Structure 1
Amino acid sequence: MAPQLHLDLARSPSDAPPSPPVPRMALATGVVALGGLLFGFDTGVISGALLFLKDQLALNSFQEGAVISALLLGAAVGALAGARPADRFGRRTALIGVSATFTVGLALAAAAPDFWTLLAARAVLGLAVGSASTIVPLYLAEIAPPRLRGRMITVNQILLTVGILVSYLVNLAFAGGGDWRAMFAVGLIPSVAMLIGTFFIPETPAWLDGRTSRPRTGRPRALLTTPGARAALLIGVTLAAVQQFGGINSIIYYAPSIMARAGLPATSSIGYSVAIGTVNVLLTIAAVPLIDRVGRRPLLLWSLAGMAVSLTALGVVLGPAHPGPVGNAVALVAMTSYVGSFAIGLGPVFWILAAEIFPPESRARGTGLCALVNWAANFVVGQAFLPTADAVGERWVFWFFAAVSLGAVLFVARRVPETKNRSLGEIQSALGTR
C-alpha cells in the first residue's frame, strides 16, 4: 500500500486528511514560513558582510568563495538528509531541529574570531537552510487545503525574498561602521521566534495518517520504477539546476561586489542591492494570484525568456572595466529586470512543482533530491563565480547564464505539463504518459 506522506493521490479533495482549523493553520503557516525568511536572510546577508569581513579576517579570493559556498555545500547535505527524520519523526519535530540549527549557526557566525570558525558557522547554517528548503514546502503542502496548496507554498517563497531584502537592509544599516557581526546577529531574532513557535504548531494530518505504513515507504527505487515518478524527477532536477546555472544567486550573493567592480563605493552598491531585493519581493507577491490564474507553465516560459534577455544586456554593459554613470544605470536596470523575471516565474514555480509532481510514496525523497541538486548547483556557482569572472570577465559569465535560461525555455516547452487546476492524481497521470 502506498504511504500517505502528503495528500494521497488516490483521494479526492473531499476525503483527504482534514486540515487543522483556520486559526491553527494560520499560526502554523506563519511560524513555519520563518524558515523561508531565514533561508533568504542567511543566503543574502553574506553579500554585504563579505565587503567588510574579508579585510578584518584577511581573506583571499578563494576564501571569500569558500565562505559563500560553505553554506551551499551544507545545504546540499541538509536538503536530502532532512527528508529522513521528517518521515521518521514527523514534520514538526524536524522543524524544531531546523530552527535550533539556525540559532546555533547564526550565534557562531556573529562571534567568529577567524576564517575557520566562520566557515564552520556557515556550514551549520547550510544544514539548516537545506533542511528548511525540503521540509518547509512539505509541511505547507500537507497542512493546506487542496485549493490553497499552490498559494501556501508560495508563502514560503515570499518570505524567502523578504528575508533577502531584510538582509540587504540590515547590511545597509550596519555598513557605515562595517559591523558584519551585527549583520549576522540580527538573524537570531527570527530564528529564536521560530524555535519557540514550532513547539506550538500541529503535526500535519497527512504524516499522522501515513505513519503506520511509513517503514515500508520512501525507498530510492520508487523514483525510478514508475513512469510518473521518473518524469517528475527529470523535471524537478532539471529546473533545480536551471535555477542556479541561470545565475540568480550570482546576483543575490554578489550584487554589491558586481556594482563595486563597476566603480561604485561599497555603501552605494549595497543601496542598489536593496532596490533589487525590493523588486524580488514585489514580483514574488505578484506571482501569487498568477500561479493559479495564468498557470505554472506560461509563467516559467515568460520568466526564463525575460531572464535570458536581461542577462544578455548585463553582459554587454559590464564589458568595459568602468562602464560610467550610464552603464551603471543600465546594469542596475538589467539586474532588476532579471531578478523580477526570476521572481514572478522560475523562483516560486520550481518549489511548487517540486512539492506537487511526485507520487506520495516518493514525495519527501523526491523533493529532497530536487533540493539537493539545487544546492549542489548553487555551490558550484557560488564557488566559481568570482574566480571565473576574474579569469574571463563578468560578461562571459552572464552570457553563459543567458544561454542556460534560453535552453530551459525549450525544455519547459517540451517537457513540463501544466498543473493548474489539476488534482495530484491528474498530474501523475499526465506525467505517466511522458
Structure 2
Amino acid sequence: MAPSGLRQCIRDVSPYLILLLSISTLGPLQFGFHLAELNAPQDVISCRVRVPASSRFASAWATLTSYTTKPATVTTSSLPDCIPMDDAQFAVVSSMFTLGGFAGALASGPVSSSRGRLLAMQLTSLFFVIGSLIETLGASIFMMALGRVFSGVGAGATTVIVPLYISEVAPPRERGTFGAMTQISINVGILITQTLGYFLSHDSAWRWVLGAGVIIAATQGLGLLVVPESPAWLAAHGNVSQAKRTLQRIRGKHYDIGEETATWHSDAVATPEEEALLGDGEAAAALPGAATAGGKSTRHLGFFEVIRDPFYRPALIAAVGVMSVQQLCGVNSIIMYSVSLLRDLLPINSAVLTIIISAINLITTVACSPLPDKLGRKTCLLLSIAGQGASALVLALSIIFEAKILSAIMVLCFVASFAVGLGPVPFMLASELVGQEAVGATQSACLGANYIATFLVAQFFPIINVALNNWLGGAGWVYFIFTALAVLSGLFVQWRVPETKGKRNADEVWGRTRRID
C-alpha cells in the first residue's frame, strides 16, 4: 500500500472499528482452532501412546489438577485419559466437523438475512460453546463426534457471516484489506491450537486443549454484547436512522458518512459480497442490492436453474471446481494429521514442526494477500497448484528414501504454496465469474463443494495412508496421490478457469453480451 493510501487507511479506521473486527474475527479464529485441535494430541487421545507430563510442566500440572481431583464430589476420574480409536474411527471423529460445517454454512445465510448478522454471530458462538464442552467432557467416540458436529455448525456459519459483516462495517476503500482478516484469523486459530497441543498432549491434559475452545467462544459471546448490528442490514430493513447512527459511531464522530449512506433507500444497489455470501435469493432481495440502480428488481436464480442453463454452466463448473481443488490438493492432510503422519519420519519433533508449519502458513498468508490483485487470480492458482504438486512429489520421495531434512523442508513448502493462491482465490471467484442474478446459487454450490472435499480428505486420508503403507511398505506413498491430483487440478484451471483480474463484470470475463430474459 502506498504511503498516502496507508495514511488514508489510518484515518478511516477508528478504535471502535478495530474492537468490532477483533471480536467478530474470533469466529474464523475458532474455525481454524477446531479444524486442527485434534492434530497434536491425536495419538494421546486415541490411546496409541502414553505420554507422561514432561518434567518442565509436571509440577504445574500436578498443582492444577490437585484442585479438581481432591474433593470426592468434584473429580475428573470419571473421564478417561484417552478414548481407544483406530485410524478409521479417528477419521470419523475428525470428519464430523466438516459435516457440521456443511450444515452451518447452508443454514446461516437465510438466518443472517432475516434475523440479522449480530444474532447469527451470537448463535455461532453458542454452537462453539456447546461443541467445545461436549468434546472436552467426551468419554466416547460418539460424544467426541457429536461435539465436532456442533463445533462444525458454528464454523460453517461463521465462514459465511463474518466476511459479510466485515464487508459491511469496513470502510469502502479498505474492504479488500480487511477482507483478508478472515483467512488470517483462521491461521491464527490453527497456530494457537497447534501450540497448545504441543504442550498439553499428555495424560488427560489434552482436554484442556479442547476446553480452550470454550473460553474463546465465551469471550466472543460476551464481546458480541458490545457489537452493533450491521448498519447495512438495519438500513435494508427500514431502520435507516439507527443505521446512520451506528455507522457514524463505527466511523468516528468527524467522519463524513454521506457517500456511504446515499444509497440507503428502497432501490439501493447491493454489494457483490452481500449476494455472494448470503446465497439466499429472497433474503438477498431485502438487502441493498436487490434492485438495480434504476429501481428494477433483479431476479435471483436457484441452483437448479443455474446448473441447467448453458449460459451459466461454464462459470458454475469453474467456481465449484476451484473450490474443490482447494481441498483436494491436500493441505488439510498436514493441518489435521501432521503430528501423527510425520512422527519418526522427520529430524525434529513432529509437533514442533507443526507449530512451525502453522506460523509459516500465517506469515505467508499475510505476505501473499496482495498477489491476486497484482499477478492475477488464475496465475496465483497455477503457481499455488504447481508448488503443492512439486512439494508433494518431493515429500513422497524424501520420506521413502528417509531424507529427513528434505522432508521437513518440503512440508513447509507444501503449506506455503497453498497461501499463494489456493487459500484466498477460490473465495473470490464466484462473484467474479457470474452476474448478480446467479451469484447466490453459485456461492452456495461452491461452499457445499468445499466442505464435501474437506470431508473426503478428513475421512479417507488416514485410511488410504495406512493402506498404502501396509501394501507397499514404508511411508509417504499417499503424497503421490496428491501429486497426481495437483496435475489434474492444474489442467482443470488452465482449461476451464478464466482470468478475472481487471474485469469489470462477468460478461467481460467470458467475452459475451449480457442475455436479457
Please state which band the TM-score falls in when normalised by the shorter chain: 0.7 to 0.9
Q: Cα distance, 1:260 vs. partner?
A: 1.3
Query: For residues 272-327 of structure 1, what are the alpha-carbon distances to aligned partners after superposition, in whole Å with 9 as ceiling and x for unaligned?
Result: 1011111101100101232333332222121111111000111112225xx2xxx2
Which residue does 1:234 correspond to in 2? 317
Q: Is the 8 A contact 1:228 1:432 kept in 2?
A: no
Match of 2:29 in 1: 37
Aligned equivalent of 1:271: 352
Question: What are the residue-to-residue correspondences of 1:287-298 with 2, within 5 Å?
Answer: 287-298=368-379
Q: Which residue of 1 aligns with 2:214?
A: 188
2:103 equivalent to 1:80: no
User: 1:244 and 2:327 equivalent?
Assistant: yes
Distance in 2 (CA, whole Å) between partners of 1:45 and 1:313 is: 27
Out of 165, 185, 188, the position equivalent to 1:162 is 188
State the AA in 2 paired with 1:84: P
Change (3 A) 1:354 1:95: farther
3-state DSSP of counterpart to 2:400: coil
- For structure 2, the residue ranges without an aligned partner over 5 or more in a row are 1-11, 48-81, 238-265, 267-280, 286-299, 470-474
Q: CA RMSD in A?
A: 2.7
Matches within 5 A, 1:171-320: 171-177=197-203, 179-208=205-234, 210=236, 214=282, 219-221=302-304, 223-224=306-307, 230-260=313-343, 262=345, 268-319=349-400
* SS of corresponding position for 2:303: coil
Following the alignment from structure 2 to structure 1, what is the Cα–Cα distance between the partners of residues 465 and 437?
Answer: 43
| CA distance in structure 2 between the aligned counterparts of 1:361 and 1:72, rounded to whole angstroms | 28
- The Cα shift of 1:69 comes to 0.8
Please tell me whether residue 419 in structure 1 is matched to residue 411 in structure 2.
no
- Segments of structure 1 that go 5 or more residues without pairing to the other structure are 1-19
Identity of aligned residues (%): 30
The verdict on how the C-alpha distance between 1:313 and 1:142 changes in structure 2, with shifts beyond 3 A counting, is same
SS in 2 for 1:58: coil
Q: 1:199 to 1:421 in 2, by over 3 A?
A: farther
Contact between 2:168 and 2:231, CA under 8 Å: does it hold in 1? Answer: yes
**Aligned in 2, Cα 1:261/1:67: closer, same or farther, shift over 3 Å?**
farther
The alpha-carbon deviation at position 101 of structure 1 amounts to 0.7
The CA distance in 2 between the partners of 1:139 and 1:231, in whole Å, is 30
Would you say 1:375 and 2:375 are equivalent positions? no
Higher helix share: 1
Listed as ranges, the matches of 1:6-155 within 5 Å are: 22-55=14-47, 56-155=82-181
TM-score norm. by structure 2 comes to 0.72
CA contact (8 A) 1:247 1:381 kept: yes
Structure 1 residues 141 and 218: CA distance shift in structure 2, 3 A: farther
**Contact 1:71/1:126 (<8 A) preserved:** yes
Correspondence for 2:422 among 337, 343, 346: 346
Residue deviations 1:222-271 (CA, integer Å, cap 9, x gap)? 64477775444222211121111100101111111111152779xx2111
Instruction: Compare 414-423 and 276-285 and name the one that shifted more.
Output: 414-423
TM-score, normalised by the number of residues in structure 1: 0.85
Q: Is the 8 A contact 1:138 1:364 kept in 2?
A: no
Q: Is 1:430 aligned with 2:509? A: yes
Find out whether 1:389 has 2:500 as its counterpart: no
Partner of 2:51: none
Displacement over 6 Å in runs of 4+: 225-228
Q: Which letter maps to 2:122?
A: I
Q: How many residues align?
A: 406
Secondary structure of 2:139's aligned partner = coil
Task: Classify 1:354/1:22 alpha carbon distance in 2 versus 1 (closer, same or farther; 3 Å).
Answer: farther
